[in-house]
Amino acid sequence: MGVLEDKSRARTFYKYLSKVYDQVNPFIWNEEMRTEALGLLDFEPDNRVLDIGCGTGFATEGLLNHVDHVYGLDQSPHQLEKAYAKFGKRDGPVTFHLGDAERLPFRDDTFDVVWSSGSIEYWPNPVDALRECRRVAKPGGQVLVVGPNYPNSSVFQRLADAIMLFYDESEADRMFRDAGFTEFEHHTMGPSYNPEIAITTVAQVPE
């Protein structure tokens, strides 16, 4: 397990990274990729949408181009502070929760769309969290998860494994199946210097 697949360490990491996250982020997860991922989903403006690991709200902002309101959850108070500054802490278009992807504070069958970008790589038990995504999503709803694609070179694989979860399509198949999904597809995407840096899975929630 990578050094950052630990909730406490990830929280400490984001205490510092939150200061520069919005400046650094576009090198690996940019607006074009976000638009491409958003294009994989069907939205109605009144859909209930959850953004897990919402961070400073980069994806939340994209989701708000499609729906009127978003629920954003993150385990880092420092990342959330940055998001509050953009959307307002209360009474804005985002309802925020400080919480854990592996124990979502929502009832079963609550959301039409559950989105998570760039967060699964920090979850120590990704299958548990994907089960939580399925639980809180409505039957027939959609779950979209963006994560880091497993590198091809063995040197980078060793480095990646030491840091956090990087996974290929077959590992994504295993995780989504183990979490109870039966219908899903994967897409790779990335900036021009590495067009397959990210793996995005869109899953239908079983009826």
Ligand X SMILES: C[S@@+](CC[C@H](N)C(=O)[O-])C[C@H]1O[C@@H](n2cnc3c(N)ncnc32)[C@H](O)[C@@H]1O
Can you give the binding site for ligand X, defined by CB under 6 A? 7, 10, 14, 25, 29, 53-55, 58-59, 74-76, 79, 100-102, 117-119, 122-123
CB of 138 to ligand X, least distance (A): 21
CB of 193 to ligand X, least distance (A): 18
The smaller minimum CB distance to ligand X, of residues 58 and 96, is found at: 58
* 189 φ/ψ angles, rounded to the nearest 5 degrees: -155, 165
> Which residue's Cβ lies closest to ligand X?
55
CB of 99 to ligand X, least distance (A): 6
CB of 170 to ligand X, least distance (A): 24
The smaller minimum CB distance to ligand X, of residues 94 and 182, is found at: 94
Query: Which run of H or of E encompasses 184?
Result: strand 183-189
The smaller minimum CB distance to ligand X, of residues 47 and 75, is found at: 75
Residue 162 tokens read as 């030491």
CB of 103 to ligand X, least distance (A): 9
The smaller minimum CB distance to ligand X, of residues 81 and 183, is found at: 81
**DSSP assignment letter at 103:** B
**Which pairs count as long-range contacts for 3-12, CB under 8 Å and 24+ apart, including other chains?**
3/162, 3/163, 3/164, 4/121, 4/122, 4/163, 4/164, 5/121, 5/122, 5/123, 5/124, 5/164, 5/165, 6/124, 7/75, 7/100, 7/122, 7/124, 10/75, 10/76, 10/122, 11/75, 11/76
The smaller minimum CB distance to ligand X, of residues 101 and 160, is found at: 101
